[in-house]
Chain A
Amino acid sequence: MNSIVKENKMVSPYFLFFLIHSTQTGIGVLKFQAHIIKGAKHDAWISVLSFGLLLHIVFFMMLFILKQSSNGDILSFHKDVFGKVLGGTLNILLAGYFSLFGLFALHNYIDILPIWVFDGIAPWEYFLLLSVIILYIVSGGFRVVTSISFWGVIIPSFLLLSLLYLLNYAEVSYLTPVLQYTVKDYLISAKEAAPVFLGFETVLVFFPFIKDREKSGKWGHIALLYTTILYTTITVVTFMFFSQGKLEHLTWPTLTMIKIITFPFLERFEFIFIFTWLLVVMPVICVNLWSAIRSIKLTIPKTKPTYLLVGFIIMFFFVNLQIDEIQYATLFAKVVSYSGLIFLFGYIPFLFLIAVVRKKLKKVTQTVTGTSQ
């Protein structure tokens, strides 16, 4: 596989772990427990676990597609398979999908702040502040984006230690009896759990920037496994902490859990938690935005990426102003989660089949030309 990316912009393979893990963890982690109990109630952690394990297959398909493409990313794959025009349109659609995802993450984070922390401050002010950071990070190139996703995993991992404090209040009886529900209930829970796992599709675009591509696949699998285990642990702890009846009434279960932590020098740990969560959300927004810009840049030549970046931010700003009301927020969430599911479970297997067929055709033509010589 040749690549058009210079050596001094590539990053080592183990960064794939951080990139994938950081783009998956976003705002959904704070809210998802209230939704997944709709199906299987206290057994929903099994759905979370199984959905996460299912994603390994999807990732494997993705890696296969990428190996078949000429440049190592999905943009060139589109161009190879569908031709220049149709492939280009698909790339632009992909850019739109990624930017939608990024905007969704940003919008969600800005939603938390007025409720939990500051009252009476207009959301567009936060947006301006955060867009300064986003501009600074994304204009630094892929290495800087990787560094943010690295720190966005390392620094918030100290927050995981707070889960230990919560075990004080854990009641194992809330979890038993196990496997009490029908398969249909589990599927409903899995569908509700899906939005938290989305986000790693950007690997299709930034894969050429990883050194040692053949061996780096294992880091991706480790990252998916780590995310799955992390989410399952959080789910299990939440279920042990809250009774089912209370959980149905909560909109932000994780944050409500964290409220109870007190240190001698710091009451109300949840402020630190919310602010550190900014570091978790940043990689999602930045990687998605970077991928969107790269897709457009490679499809339509002669666009200056800096202008694209500023353009995207301004567009986000206006869209954000429009969807400030409550009904749009739920609509938006539904749109994003459905499109994510369709992308992962519909479009990727479709491309996978095309890649398999192409590989077989190539082998056939090779053997034909080989034997004819």
Chain B
Amino acid sequence: MKKPKKHLVFFFILVCIVSLFGCNRTRIIDKISIVHVFGFDQADNGELVGTALFPQYTKSKSSDQIQYLEEQASSSVLFVPKMAAHTSTPVELSKIRVLLFGKKYAEAGIQDMVDRFMTTPQLGTNIHIAVSTHSARETLNRFKKEKSLTLAERIDHNMQGQSLPTMNLHVFLNHFYGEGMDAYVPMINIDENDMVSVEGMGVFKGDKFKLQLDSEQTALFSILKDYRSQATFKIPLDEKDRSEIIIIKSFRGKSKWDWNPKKKQMNLRLQLEMTMSQHPRKYNLEKVQEINKIKKLIGTNLEKGIMELLETFKENEVDPLGIGNIVRSKDRNWDEASFYQLYPTLPIHVDVNLQIIHSGLES
């Protein structure tokens, strides 16, 4: 091919490419609606109700201009097309940060929804998943009224600095599908002052929501499950006197499970490192016996709490701690069905070993 002709052909191709392809399949960042929180509910006729919150960043930098959309459809995949009919820009799901389930829907079984989560490549896997004590629609409406879209941050800092156990979509899916484990999620509550609060956690059995734990039980659960959890515990020595109270904050906790196949018994050894935030005046922490006394008090109190928690799990036949999985990894002849038949009457022995790192500025 002669030189000038070759260059002409090349130039022609370049112009074609730029003009044909450069225009209509873009997702320019200020021309899309980015969904931040998605809520799932079940309507009375069995169809699903999806609610979404979008911040409108084109109007303000911080996310206080929020748009709220609600749609009803028979399958979750149809939500996006229906919502798109109401927005001026395409709806994009890739930046969803919280998936919220309404309580009634969670109790009815969320298997199909979770299957959809697995097969949508647009969803990230370290997003939060939570269940609300009311319906998702009400909770999202509350956020719209508060004009702040900070649900993800609230869940985040509670997981890191307070007593919620860490959870994201990836770990949830692992527990959901894995054998020998049940999934658990943080709970979102609307309290008496109409404020949204993140406290407590809920446990699923299979794909149905079964059990809700209060904040003390959640704190105990998080020190059992996570290595670095900063839950705060209150140990009242005297019910009436407000100053007779010990408050400890956990720092690290390592749990070691042992399975005794002959006796069919589990042993839990919990090694805790804690800091003491408040203790009654009468204890002088410079003396070793006093420290040991306090440690024994705290230890027995914690052991009692944990045993009660485990009993609650056994009664409700849920296994969020993954005891089944632990036994499976140690015992070659493990069978899921027979283990869970044994589970409600499984003896678990708890042993807490405590180390107090520091006690703040008090001595």
Q: What is the interface of chain A, defined by CB distance below 8 A to chain B? A: 115-116, 118-121, 125, 169, 173-177, 180, 242-246, 248-250, 255-256, 259-260, 262, 267-268
B178 close to A180 (CB less than 8 A) = no
Chain B nearest Cβ from A211, distance in angstroms: 36
In this complex, what residue of B is CB-closest to A256? B125
Are B178 and A118 interface neighbours, CB within 8 A? no
B:133-186 near A, CB below 8 Å: 168, 170-171, 173-179, 181
Contact of B21 among A125, A248, A259, A268 (CB under 8 A): A125
Q: Are A243 and B332 in contact (CB under 8 A)?
A: no
With an 8 A cutoff between CB atoms, is B113 at the interface?
no
Q: Residue-by-residue, is B306-343 near A (CB-CB < 8 Å gives 1, otherwise 0)?
A: 00000000000000001001101111100000000000
Interface residues in B88-117 (C-beta closer than 8 Å to A): 94, 115
Asked if B121 is an interface residue, CB under 8 A from chain A, the answer is yes
Interface residue from A116, A120, A244, A250 paired with B178 (Cβ < 8 Å): A244
Q: Which residues of A contact B181 (CB under 8 A)?
A: 243
B299 contacts partner chain A, Cβ-Cβ < 8 Å: no
Question: Are A243 and B124 neighbours in the complex by a CB distance under 8 Å?
Answer: no
Contact of A268 with B124 in the complex, beta carbons under 8 Å: yes
Q: Which residue of A lies closest to B181 (CB)?
A: A243
Complex-state Cα separation, A147 to B137, whole angstroms: 57
Flag whether B25 is at the interface (Cβ < 8 A).
Answer: yes
Q: Is the pair A246, B332 in contact by a Cβ cutoff of 8 Å?
A: no
B170 near A260 with CB under 8 A, answer yes
Q: CB < 8 Å: which of A180, A244, A259 contacts B125?
A: A259
- Give the size range of B's interface with the partner: 20 to 34
Main secondary structure of the interface of A (DSSP, over half): loop
Which residue on A lies nearest to B94, using beta carbons? A268
Is B357 among interface residues, defined by CB-CB distance under 8 A? Answer: no
Asked if B87 is an interface residue, CB under 8 A from chain A, the answer is no
Report the Cα distance A249→B111, complex, angstroms: 13
**Interface contact A177-B171, CB-CB below 8 Å:** no
Given that A176-B329, A177-B330, A244-B179 are known contacts, is A249 also in contact with B118, CB under 8 Å in the complex? Answer: yes
Known: A176-B329, A244-B179, A260-B170. 6 other contacts (CB 8 A): A169-B170, A173-B326, A243-B325, A248-B177, A260-B125, A268-B94
What's the nearest-Cβ distance from chain B to residue A265, in Å? 16
Q: How far is the CA of A75 from the CA of B132 in the complex (A)?
A: 69
Query: Does B292 lie at the interface of the complex (its beta carbon under 8 Å from any beta carbon of A)?
Result: no
Chain B residues in 8 Å Cβ range of A244: 178-179
Given contacts A177-B332, A180-B332, A268-B124, contact A249 B25 (CB under 8 A): no
Nearest CB to that of B169 among chain A residues? A260
User: Given contacts A115-B121, A169-B170, A260-B125, are A243 and B330 in contact (CB under 8 A)?
Assistant: no
Picked from A173, A246, A267, the residue with its CB within 8 Å of the CB of B173 is A246
B126 CB–A CB distance under 8 Å? yes
Which residue of chain A lies nearest to B178 when distances are taken between CB atoms in the complex?
A243
CB pair B177–A243 under 8 Å, yes or no, is yes
> Which of A173, A180, A246, A255 lies in contact with B177, CB distance below 8 A?
A246
Q: Could you tell me the distance between the alpha carbons of A131 and B345 in the complex, rounded to whole angstroms?
A: 65
Q: Which residues of A contact B174 (CB under 8 A)?
A: 242-243, 246
Q: How far is A116 from B174 in the complex, measured between Cα atoms in Å?
A: 21
A84 to chain B, nearest CB (A): 36
B contact residues around A267 at 8 Å (CB): 124
| Given known A121-B25, A125-B21, contact A249–B330 (CB-CB < 8 A) | no
Residues in B whose Cβ lies below 8 Å from that of A174? 178, 325, 329
Which residues from B are CB-within-8-Å of A246? 118, 173-174, 176-178
Q: Which residues of A contact B94 (CB under 8 A)?
A: 268
Q: How far is the CB of B135 from chain A (nearest CB, A)?
A: 28
Residues of A within 8 A of B179 (CB): 243-245
Q: Of A180, A243, A262, which is in contact with the most chain B CB atoms at under 10 Å from its CB?
A: A243
**Smallest distance from the beta carbon of A180 to chain B beta carbons, Å?**
6
